[in-house]
Amino acid sequence: MTKILKPKWMVTLAPGSADVLTDHALVIDGERIADVLPRAEAEAKYPQAESVELGSHVLIPGLINGHTHSAMSLLRGVADDLPLMDWLNHHIWPLEKKWVTEDWTYQGSLLSAAEALRGGVTYLNDMYFFPTAMARAAVDAGIRAGVSINVIDFPTGYAANAQDYIAKGLAAYEQFKGEKLLDWTSAPHAPYTVSDETFVALRELAEKHDLQMHCHIHETQFEVDESVKQHGMRPLERLNKLGLLNEQMMAVHMVHLNEDEIAMLARQKVHLVHNPNSNLKLASGICPVTALETAGVNTILGTDGAASNNRQDMFGEIRAAALLAKGSTQNPTTVSARTALEMATIRAAKAMGRGDDLGSLEAGKLADVVAVSLDAVECRPVYNALAQLVYVAGREHVSDVWVGGRQVLKGRELTTIDVGSLLERTEAIVHRMQTER
């Protein structure tokens, strides 16, 4: 059925569009946006459509979380205030080796999907083991996901070696190929956990199946220094020699970069996934976003997993990206409100290879739409709805979400997930983890 959404404001983020439209309507027909036009014209053109009055709301495109480890919501808060390698080696990897299974991954992924939808996120770009579990959770929740063929060069409870990871990932890809909510990525974990041979195999896999690649790179200075010791070159130089730096690559973190590397990223059209809050919490450093913007690198945003952030809150990432860029350069004009919001929408859609049908509110695109209420005391007055989204509003102000025209959040209540049952299962898993250490 055709629906007309009637908000007070709309931020379409369509190229060349005004920052904010007022007294406009968005028309959804099936899974796609049929029209964006003045409200009076919409009412005249679609007299039989269902009318959805949204009062003091602003409509935006669904947010895209460019990097997360969804199942790690079950490890939220398990090991805080630690440097990255200590956190990984002595806490996270031992816990994962003991506990991670298909069911554990499904439950954690579903918990993250619920958190995402309640925060206006309609797409999770995931990296984790047991991709069939993430795929099932995304489909059950009605959220879009980039599911990873994730590879690491040591054994875990999921796979024995690189060949085993790839074989299992490809089997999952074949099982869910054609599911319209899912995309797939070729996902080497990081240069310090993946060999040259495995990188090449995953590059060839991405080329064969036309997949984006998804990899942690230059997250810490320690990683860069160790690469120089072991390989005689920095990680990006190594990956460039292996043919991985191109427009299929989504390079995550990228905190420690020099001028030549930034120029190379721009020249070779690599997409960069900035994770401001995770990088701050792990004291990894601050990504040089202003320099990347100046060079023309497509920079997008992600939360990282709940074990390191600990909030999978894209409103928080959008605000942090804008403020960090300004504060670190002492330039208040860098990373404007619109730029920060684009990093979580239209720019992110481009990085996922989905720029033609996601990331902005335009006729013909998929109807991934979020309504944010600016009715609350803390959101008033509203002089500029776009700036209000970035500098004032939070995920708690998201009221309604549609994914492909299907309403998955209504009045802050999820329509696809039984929250009570989800929390019961979550607590049962956590209780077992705590009592069987």
| 101 Cβ contact partners less than 8 Å away, ≥ 6 residues apart | 130, 157
- The stretches of 187-303 forming alpha helices (DSSP H) are 196-209, 221-231, 235-241, 259-267, 276-281, 289-295
What's the pLDDT at 85? 86
Question: If you average pLDDT over every residue of the chain, what do you get?
Answer: 97
Q: What is the CA radius of gyration of the chain?
A: 21
Is 289:272 a contact under the CB 8 Å cutoff? no
Is 280:84 a contact under the CB 8 Å cutoff? no
Name the band, by pLDDT with cuts 50, 70 and 90, for residue 426: very high
Sign of CA dihedral 354, 295, 248, 192: negative
**How far, in Å, CA of 161 to CA of 151, rounded?**
8
**How far, in Å, CA of 171 to CA of 84, rounded?**
32
Q: What are the pLDDT digits (tens) for 224-243?
A: 999 999 999 999 999 999 99
In this structure, what DSSP letter does residue 366 have? B
Q: What are the pLDDT digits (tens) for 183-239?
A: 999 999 999 999 999 999 999 999 999 999 999 999 999 999 999 999 999 999 999
Question: Taking residues 347-373, what's their average pLDDT?
Answer: 98
Please name which of 191, 266, 271, 273 lies closest in space to residue 224, comparing C-alpha atoms: 191
Name the band, by pLDDT with cuts 50, 70 and 90, for residue 135: very high
Is 121:398 a contact under the CB 8 Å cutoff? no
Please name which of 261, 264, 274, 400 lies closest in space to residue 340, comparing C-alpha atoms: 274
The superfamily CATH assigns to domain 64-351 is Metal-dependent hydrolases (3.20.20.140)
What's the pLDDT at 352? 98
| Residue ranges of the chain that CATH labels 2.30.40.10 | 3-61+365-414
Is 394:119 a contact under the CB 8 Å cutoff? no
Residue 186 class from Cβ within 10 Å (0-12 exposed, 13-18 middle, 19+ buried)?
buried
Question: Taking residues 311-339, what's their average pLDDT?
Answer: 98
What's the pLDDT at 383? 98
How far CA 341 is from CA of 126, 136, 194, 345, 355, in Å, comes to: 20, 29, 33, 6, 15
Name the band, by pLDDT with cuts 50, 70 and 90, for residue 334: very high
**How far, in Å, CA of 213 to CA of 100, rounded?**
24
What's the pLDDT at 84? 83
**How far, in Å, CA of 258 to CA of 339, rounded?**
23
What's the pLDDT at 1? 84
Query: DSSP strand E in 263-367: where?
Result: 271-274, 298-301
Please work out, in degrees rounded to the nearest 5, the angle formed at the alpha carbon of residue 128 by the alpha carbons of 408 and 113. 15
Q: Which of 61-70, 91-100, 291-300, 318-327 has the lowest mean pLDDT?
A: 91-100
Asked if CATH classification 3.90.470.10 holds for the domain at 3-61+365-414, the reply, yes or no, is no
Question: Taking residues 13-37, what's their average pLDDT?
Answer: 97
**What tokens does 25 get?**
């309507």
**How far, in Å, CA of 56 to CA of 76, rounded?**
34
In this structure, what DSSP letter does residue 339 have? H
Strand, helix or coil for residue 432: helix
**How far, in Å, CA of 345 to CA of 370, rounded?**
11
**How far, in Å, CA of 279 to CA of 277, rounded?**
5
Question: Taking residues 358-384, what's their average pLDDT?
Answer: 98
| Residue ranges of the chain that CATH labels 3.20.20.140 | 64-351
Residue 329 class from Cβ within 10 Å (0-12 exposed, 13-18 middle, 19+ buried)?
middle
What's the pLDDT at 317? 98
Name the band, by pLDDT with cuts 50, 70 and 90, for residue 107: very high
CA 10 to chain centre: 22
Is 254:216 a contact under the CB 8 Å cutoff? no
How far CA 363 is from CA of 36, 49, 158, 356, 357, in Å, comes to: 7, 16, 42, 11, 10
Name the band, by pLDDT with cuts 50, 70 and 90, for residue 113: very high
**What tokens does 254 get?**
């990228």
Q: What pTM did the predictor assign?
A: 0.98
**How far, in Å, CA of 230 to CA of 190, rounded?**
14
- pLDDT at residue 437 greater than cutoff 80: no
